[in-house]
Amino acid sequence: MTKKNRIPFTLLVFFVPAMILTVQIWNDYRGGVMSVQEQYSNLTGMYYLDGGNKIAALTDERDGEYSRLHMYEANTGNLIKEQMIRANSQGPLAATTYQNNGVIIPTLDSSQSLQLTHVRDTGEVAELARSTLQLDTPWAGVHAWRGRLIVNGETSGSTTYLAEVRDAEVKLEILNSPDVLPSDPDSISDVDGSFNNELPVPLFEVVLEHGQRGYVSGILQQDGLPAVKVQTEDVGIFLAQEQASNTFAESFGIDYTRLVRAQDSNPKQVRFYNAKTNEWGSVVNTPKSVYQASVFLLNDQEVFIVGSSMEDEKQGEVRGYIYNEKKKSFMDVGAMVGQLTYEDLENTDIQFYKALEDDTLYYSGGEQAAGAMNVQTGLVHMQTKDQMLEWIKTANEGQLSFRGFLGHIGEGGGLVLNWAVWLAIPLLVIIVPQFVLPLIFKRRTRLINEGELLNGTIMEMAETGTYVNNQPLVRFKIRFEVDGERKEVELKKVISLLNANRIGDQVVVSYNREKEKAMLISDEDLQGQMPSTIHHAVLERIDHYGFLNRGKVLLLHFTADEQEYEVPVVQPPGFSYRVGTEATLILAGGQVRLQSYGVSTSELADQLALEAEVVRMEKKETEFLDRELLVMDLMITSGEDSIRKTNSLFVPSGTVVQNGTRIPMHMKREDYERELRLAKGKQGAATIRTVMYEGITAGERPLARITVDRGGQIYEIHQSIDPVFGVEIGDELWISYDEQTREALILNYSSNG
């Protein structure tokens, strides 16, 4: 009787804390939902969309890592969607722009990487920068100019970049390239006031080697390169800035002799300005006079003039006109700005936006107010912070649901982790050891004991294509002798990728004479060393071990569940591993590898288990931690289909890998299907024009978005890159491409196909 009650009582001991913790998690979830008003009180920005029919707002999640995006129907206040975006406690940066039927909201994540969240009129939300643009240097910045976003900074490889976001596409240029500057820049800084209409074209000043100075345009030319002018020694700094900006304006087709600017002296009217002669011209003849005015650059042709109707701004009302510099025409937007005070205009957060072919003028006063006006119909929408907070409260307060509770559990936290542990303990510690494992080991022990142990030799090894717990099932051909008679048998066994067994090794088999069957006896049978997956490993430290080709050899130190793991990798130029990022690791045969980096566990779900055959192998002169680096050309097969891929891998020193060796691989289903489709296309050489890494990896292969030029046609590549070779602007590749979709696939990192 005592024996029968023992297990249920033990289960009860473990399940009671689990039930208590379940109640605590529910109360925590309920309390979080009921405190919505407090949670969302920190509004950080508001933006109208879709001509004023929708409005989006950002609230700080108070964790220093995320903000919550709320989208509503502007006329009804009905919630359309909510979504988390990466943003540190600083909130949105003061460089928001409207592009491609949506608003682009720049924020920084916890590692000072730029996030460009594109919220479209349809409600779609996309991240354009994907943490590839670093802003952790003092001179880095994000600027808005005539509807564009302009970013300057330095990559993790200490290369200076300039990026322009136009039509919701990021175009990046590395300034260290000899195609741009005569020598590497030591520093770069934006010229004061050039982004605020004080020069015809926004400028960056670069200090080159040996103290030489030069100027780079903030906008890119049609060939994707910025305009550059090196300063001569006999020209002063301010004159050099004016000359460079005027020269650039001429090359961009900007009329720098008739700029629209607000004069500093009272009554601060807007006049035409000739940057060539440095002379003020006549007052811009607005339909009604505007005093104490400001000028906002909207797009390539339009500016917004706004100010007071009286010289004493406190006595007048706010007036505003959109002026088309090309057509020399005005549009009165007083219906919207008339609802503002002159004090509102003095707010440094205030901005106005309008696309050239759009009928809507958008207004943002930071987190305090937002507006939209159809300049053709005169219809105006305005929203205040208090009104938006009321909408958010109404949409979220008191919405308790089982689905919401599950979502709360999915967000994790110490309480949830503790709860999961108490549930797992009875399953892993009691049920599995007492019921499942004894049955497995008892049967295997019986089968082994039915035979006699004999020494054998591995003659052949091959993958079967079957996986058990993400480990390959391998077919062995083993030769052994029984009473002087040579026998050969085929046996199957699950092993790790980095298992030390190789052809020619001596092994032990259990041979049953009566049944004429054999079993392979290995250390795994005796020691129970099975490969395992380690989730939520956090990168804590990075050690550098020099260079290999263009990449850096690194040793990554991860921590998971208070255990430390070391993973050697090669980091290609333009990509960077960052302390604090989570990864999923594979522990096999005492060796640790990356399964993925920067990818959530949910994104690993739809993975294909594939078999790859080595068709060419090269050993690199890099060895540490008892591992050596192999670069292999692999033929990856699934059924009757196959693709070829170059892959580098650190393996234990002395591991035999040769042509014909088969190893397991995993790929996302959509990536494999896309690469398989593109591999069947036309082939040819192409030149890389842009490279942007997404900050994540598949295995040790960083995922990149690349544009290449083939015969004047631009193709897009979305592919994981072997880090030993890497990719840089100007590289010649051999690609397979689709002329219809303009997609391409790298077949070889050299154009010699």
| Mean pLDDT to the nearest integer, 354-383 | 90
**Angstrom distance (rounded) from CA 47 to CA 70:** 10
| Mean pLDDT to the nearest integer, 405-430 | 60
Q: Helix, strand or coil for residue 324?
A: strand
Three-state secondary structure of 545-561: EEEECCEEEEEEEEEEC
| Mean pLDDT to the nearest integer, 592-617 | 75
What percent of the chain stands above pLDDT 70? 77
Exposure string of 447-482, with b = 16+ CB inside 10 Å and e = fewer, is: ebeebeebebebeebebebebeebbbebbbbbebee
The pLDDT assigned to 468 comes to 59
Instruction: For Cα atoms 214, 219, 225, give the angle at the middle one, nearest 5 degrees.
Output: 70
> pLDDT tens digits, residue range 324-338?
999 999 999 988 888
| Mean pLDDT to the nearest integer, 300-319 | 92
Dihedrals φ, ψ of 40, to 5°?
-105, 15
pLDDT bin (cut points 50, 70, 90) of residue 716 is very high
Least confident of 157-171, 270-284, 559-573, 692-706: 157-171
Helices (H) and strands (E) in the chain, counts: 11, 46
pLDDT at 39 over 90: no
Cβ atoms within 10 Å of 730's Cβ, excluding its own: 12
pLDDT at 656 over 70: no
The pLDDT assigned to 49 comes to 94
Exposure string of 398-418, with b = 16+ CB inside 10 Å and e = fewer, is: eeeeeeebeebbeeeeeebee
User: How far, rounded to the nearest angstrom, does the alpha carbon of residue 444 sit from its chain's CA centroid?
Assistant: 47
> pLDDT tens digits, residue range 509-533?
778 777 777 777 765 444 433 457 8
Dihedrals φ, ψ of 371, to 5°?
-150, 165
Query: What residue ranges do the domains of the chain occupy?
Result: 1-34+412-449, 133-255, 259-378, 450-527
Where is pLDDT greater, at 137 or 545? 545
| Mean pLDDT to the nearest integer, 695-701 | 88
Amino acid type, 164: E
What percent of the chain stands above pLDDT 90? 31
- CATH number 2.40.50 given to 450-527: yes
| Mean pLDDT to the nearest integer, 554-561 | 91
pLDDT bin (cut points 50, 70, 90) of residue 6 is very low
**Cα pseudo-dihedral 535, 540, 546, 548, rounded to 10:** 20
DSSP state at residue 94: S
| Mean pLDDT to the nearest integer, 310-325 | 92
Range picked from 92-96, 246-250, 588-592 for highest mean pLDDT: 246-250
Where is pLDDT greater, at 32 or 611? 611
pLDDT at 462 over 90: no
pLDDT at 317 over 50: yes
Least confident of 245-249, 394-398, 665-669, 740-744: 394-398
Least confident of 301-315, 443-457, 569-583, 732-746: 443-457
**354, two tokens:** 């309008």
DSSP state at residue 134: B
The pLDDT assigned to 599 comes to 81
Task: State which H helix or E strand residue 441 sits in.
Answer: helix 437-449
> pLDDT tens digits, residue range 83-130?
888 888 778 888 899 999 999 999 888 777 888 999 999 989 988 887
**Angstrom distance (rounded) from CA 300 to CA 297:** 8
Where is pLDDT greater, at 541 or 444? 541
The pLDDT assigned to 602 comes to 60
> pLDDT tens digits, residue range 53-83?
999 999 887 667 788 899 999 988 888 988 8
pLDDT at 628 over 70: yes
DSSP state at residue 232: P
What is the residue whose two structure tokens read 């989570």? 582
- How are beta strands 532-548 and 551-560 bridged, if at all? antiparallel
CB 749, CB 727: distance < 8 Å = yes
Q: What is the mean pLDDT of the chain?
A: 81
The pLDDT assigned to 288 comes to 94
User: How far, rounded to the nearest angstrom, does the alpha carbon of residue 64 sit from its chain's CA centroid?
Assistant: 18
The pLDDT assigned to 492 comes to 75
* Terminal-to-terminal C-alpha distance of the chain: 76
What is the residue whose two structure tokens read 């005015």? 293
The pLDDT assigned to 331 comes to 93
**296, two tokens:** 């906002």
pLDDT at 622 over 70: no
Range picked from 212-216, 431-435, 652-656 for highest mean pLDDT: 212-216
Beta-carbon contacts of residue 382 (< 8 Å; ≥ 6 apart): 336, 339, 369, 370, 371
pLDDT at 141 over 80: yes
pLDDT at 597 over 80: yes
pLDDT bin (cut points 50, 70, 90) of residue 280 is very high
Positive or negative, the CA dihedral 332, 337, 343, 349 is negative
Q: Helix, strand or coil for residue 517?
A: strand
Where is pLDDT greater, at 751 or 536? 536
Range picked from 13-27, 427-441, 594-608 for highest mean pLDDT: 594-608
**Angstrom distance (rounded) from CA 545 to CA 557:** 13
pLDDT bin (cut points 50, 70, 90) of residue 632 is confident
**Angstrom distance (rounded) from CA 114 to CA 116:** 7
The pLDDT assigned to 51 comes to 92
**Angstrom distance (rounded) from CA 130 to CA 157:** 17
CB 129, CB 114: distance < 8 Å = yes
> pLDDT tens digits, residue range 215-245?
999 999 988 889 999 887 778 888 889 999 9
The pLDDT assigned to 226 comes to 92
> pLDDT tens digits, residue range 466-515?
665 566 777 888 888 887 788 888 877 766 654 556 777 777 777 877 77
The pLDDT assigned to 31 comes to 58
